[in-house]
Amino acid sequence: MRPGGWEPGTTVGQYLLMTPLAQGGMAEIWLARQAGPKGFERLVVIKRMIGALESDPEHVDMFLTEAKLAAQLNHPHVIQTFDLGEEHDSLYLVMEYLDGENLSVVRRLGVKHQLPLMDQHAVRLLAWAADGLHYAHTRVGLDGRPQGLVHRDISPQNLFATFDGGLKVLDFGVAKLASQHTESGKLKGKLGYMSPEQARGENVDARSDVFSLGIVLFEQLTRTRLFPGVEDTQVLGAIAHGTLPWPTERRPDLDKDLEQIIVKAMASRRDERFQSARELQDALEGWLQRKGFVVTTSDIADYLRALFARRIHERRQLIEAAMRAEMTPSSVDKVHRLARTATTSAVTSSRAEAVTPGGTKRSMVPLVLGFVLGMTAIAAATVLLLARRDPEPPKPVPVVMKPAVVAAPVVIVGSSPKGAAIRVDGRSVGDAPVTLEGLGPGDHLVEATLEGYQPSSRTVPLPKPGERLMVQLALAPVVVEPPPPPSKPVAARPRPMGKLTLKTTPWASVFLAGKKLGDTPLVESPIPAGTHVLKLSNPDTGLESSIEVEIKPGQTTTKKLKF
CB 121 within 8 A of CB 303: yes
pLDDT at 382 (0 to 100): 37
DSSP at 252: T
The answer to whether the peptide bond before residue 417 is cis (omega within 30 degrees of 0) is: yes
The 3-state DSSP composition of the chain as helix, strand, coil percent (nearest 5) reads 35, 25, 40
pLDDT at 94 (0 to 100): 92
Pairing of strands 410-416, 468-474: parallel
Q: Output the CA angle 218-223-225, nearest 5 degrees.
A: 65
d(C-alpha 502, C-alpha 563), whole Å: 13
Count of CA atoms in the C-beta half-sphere (13 A) of 326 = 11
H-type alpha helices, 35-118: 57-71, 103-112
Roughly what angle, to the nearest 10 degrees, separates helices 119-137 and 297-307?
Answer: 120
pLDDT at 408 (0 to 100): 60
Give the DSSP H or E segment for 260: helix 256-265
From the list 46, 22, 13, the residue with the least C-alpha distance to 32 is: 46
d(C-alpha 83, C-alpha 145), whole Å: 24
Count of CA atoms in the C-beta half-sphere (13 A) of 430 = 8
Q: Encode burial over 383-402: b for 16+ CB neighbours within 10 A, e otherwise.
A: beeeeeeeeeeeeeeeeeee
CA distances in angstroms from 289 to 124, 166, 283, 297, 303, listed in the order given: 11, 20, 10, 16, 21
DSSP per residue, 177-238 = -TT--PPTT---S-GGG--HHHHTT----HHHHHHHHHHHHHHHHHSS-SSTT--HHHHHHH
d(C-alpha 111, C-alpha 293), whole Å: 22
pLDDT at 141 (0 to 100): 76
The answer to whether the peptide bond before residue 521 is cis (omega within 30 degrees of 0) is: yes
pLDDT at 533 (0 to 100): 87
Pairing of strands 27-35, 41-49: antiparallel
Phi, psi of 524 (to 5 degrees): 50, 50
CB 436 within 8 A of CB 408: no
List strands edge to edge, sheet with 509-512: 515-519, 509-512, 530-538, 543-551
pLDDT at 437 (0 to 100): 78
pTM of the model as a whole? 0.60
Alpha carbon 508 to chain centroid, angstroms: 43
Q: Which residues contact 209 (CB under 8 A, 6 or more apart)?
A: 133, 137, 150, 151, 152, 154, 195, 277
Q: Which residues contact 205 (CB under 8 A, 6 or more apart)?
A: 148, 150, 178, 270
Burial (Cβ within 10 Å: 0-12, 13-18, ≥19) of residue 377: buried
d(C-alpha 454, C-alpha 471), whole Å: 17
From the list 350, 351, 354, 370, the residue with the least C-alpha distance to 25 is: 354
CA distances in angstroms from 369 to 11, 43, 110, 374, listed in the order given: 21, 12, 19, 8
119, 131, 153, 299: which is the annotated catalytic residue?
153
DSSP at 133: H
Ordered structural domains, the chain, with CATH: 3-97+324-351+364-387 (3.30.200.20), 100-303 (1.10.510.10), 497-562 (2.60.40.1120)
Give the DSSP H or E segment for 157: none
Active site residue 153: yes
Q: Is the dihedral of CA 182, 185, 186, 191 positive or negative?
A: positive
d(C-alpha 473, C-alpha 475), whole Å: 6
pLDDT at 176 (0 to 100): 63
User: Would you give per-residue pLDDT tens digits along the chain (563 residues)?
Assistant: 454 568 887 888 888 888 787 776 677 888 888 887 777 888 899 988 876 666 677 777 777 877 777 778 889 999 988 888 888 778 888 999 888 999 999 999 999 998 999 999 999 999 999 999 999 999 887 777 888 889 988 999 999 999 999 999 988 766 666 555 445 445 566 888 999 999 888 889 999 999 999 999 999 999 999 988 877 778 888 888 877 899 999 999 999 999 999 999 999 999 999 999 999 999 999 999 999 999 999 999 999 999 998 888 877 776 666 666 545 455 445 444 444 443 333 333 333 333 333 333 333 333 334 433 443 333 333 333 333 334 444 444 443 434 444 456 678 888 878 889 999 989 999 998 888 877 777 788 999 999 888 898 888 877 555 556 777 788 888 876 666 766 666 566 777 888 988 888 888 888 888 888 888 888 888 988 888 888 888 888 877 888 888 888 888 888 888 87
Q: Which residues contact 79 (CB under 8 A, 6 or more apart)?
A: 70, 95, 96, 98, 160, 168, 169, 170, 171, 367
Which SS3 state, helix, strand or coil, does residue 562 take? strand
pLDDT at 412 (0 to 100): 80
pLDDT at 504 (0 to 100): 86
d(C-alpha 451, C-alpha 528), whole Å: 44
Pairing of strands 421-424, 427-431: antiparallel
d(C-alpha 434, C-alpha 549), whole Å: 53
pLDDT at 375 (0 to 100): 39
